[in-house]
Amino acid sequence: MRILNEPAFVLHTRPWRETSLQVEVLAEQHGRIGLIARGVHGPKKHLLRAALQPLQYIRLDAEPRGELARLISAEALDAAPRLTGDAMLAAFYINELVLRLAPRNDPLPELYQAYADTRAHLGSEVSLAWTLRRFERDLLDALGSGFSYDVDGDGIEIDPAARYRLDPEHGPRRLFSDRGHDERSSAATGRALLAMASDQMPNAEDLASLRLAFRSVLSHHLGVRGLKSWEMLGDLSRLKPR
């Protein structure tokens, strides 16, 4: 059955054979889809090539053919955000997360909405660090790997004055004063977790505590191979809140 008039966001594009492209998109009704766009390098195909750039919002028609569908048509529905610097690297990061963690051909409407919201905030006045932490939280929730942030893994209310490690299988685990410095420095504050639960941006210090806590969870789901964007950024701590 053909996919018709499907809204989608372009995640990644790479050359395929001599004149074609392999395109990965996050679609509203079909989740992550792999597409083959044939003959896109012709002189009359500049609008199609422009529509297939990463971060572009498009409407597409496609015909499923095994793992990869054949792209029939695609048109841009808006102008993709013009990003530079940290915002551009953040866009690469969220696209890579979706490519690595979202299964193909599995409808994920919550992830689609989270991606749309995050894309709208990239390059805006909203804190970039907060935008990324919210996306990481919402991505895990959409994939069924999230947890509560107002209670720990045993159902005990989060103490705002304590620190917590995010256990990928258990949820927040409270750390006590006898734990090592390295473990405490990579743990989130209770205040930060409660802010995540209420979707309210915490202060700069608490927000910074969430970065390594979420990174440990994502590393668990990614496996031994990390992200290219982590290598490019070196250390996401430089994405400081404005």
> Comparing 224 with 233, which gets the higher pLDDT?
224
In this prediction, residue 65 has a pLDDT band, given cuts at 50, 70 and 90, of confident
9 near 55, Cβ under 8 Å?
yes
> Comparing 242 with 198, which gets the higher pLDDT?
198
Q: Say which residue the tokens 């915002």 belong to.
A: 87
**pLDDT reported for residue 74:** 94
Say which CATH class 85-238 falls into.
mainly alpha
What would the two tokens of residue 127 be? Answer: 């804190």
**pTM for the predicted model, two decimal places:** 0.91
* 114-149: pLDDT as tens digits: 999 999 999 888 999 999 999 999 999 999 999 999
In this prediction, residue 98 has a pLDDT band, given cuts at 50, 70 and 90, of very high
Rounded (10°) angle between helices 85-101 and 128-142:
10
Domain 3-76 listed as CATH 2.40.50.140? yes
What would the two tokens of residue 163 be? Answer: 């620190």
Query: What residue spans in the chain does CATH classification 1.20.1440.120 cover?
Result: 85-238
70 near 35, Cβ under 8 Å?
yes
Cα torsion 210, 215, 217, 221: sign: positive
Percent of the chain past pLDDT 90, that is, above it, reads 74
Query: What residue spans in the chain does CATH classification 2.40.50.140 cover?
Result: 3-76
